[in-house]
Amino acid sequence: MLTGPNIIIILKVLVSAVTVLFVLSLIALARGKRRLHGRINTAFFVLTMMTVIVFESLLRLGVDVTSGFSPAARQALRIHLIFAIPSAILLPILFFTGFTGRRRGHVPLGVIFAVLWVGTFLTGVFFLPNE
Each domain of the chain, given as residue ranges in start order, spans: 4-127
Percent of the chain at pLDDT above 70?
Answer: 98
pLDDT at residue 33 tops 90: yes
pLDDT at 56: 87
- E strand map for 37-120: none
pLDDT at residue 71 tops 80: yes
Instruction: Extract long-range pairs of 122-125: CB within 8 Å, 24+ residues apart.
Output: 123/76, 123/79, 123/80, 123/83, 123/84, 124/11, 124/12, 124/15, 124/80, 124/84, 125/12, 125/15, 125/16
pLDDT at 102: 95
Alpha carbon distance 51, 10 (integer Å): 10
- The confidence band for 48, taking pLDDT boundaries of 50, 70 and 90, is very high
Higher pLDDT, 7 or 34: 34
The dihedral built from the CA positions of residue 44, 47, 50 and 54, taken in this order, carries a sign that is negative
Question: If you average pLDDT over residues 95-108, what whole number do you get?
Answer: 96
**Contact at 8 Å (CB) between 122 and 87?**
no
Q: Kindly report the average pLDDT of the chain as a whole number.
A: 92
**Contact at 8 Å (CB) between 92 and 49?**
yes
**Residue 71 buriedness (CB in 10 A; 0-12 / 13-18 / 19+):** exposed
pLDDT at 8: 87
pLDDT at 104: 96
- The confidence band for 62, taking pLDDT boundaries of 50, 70 and 90, is confident
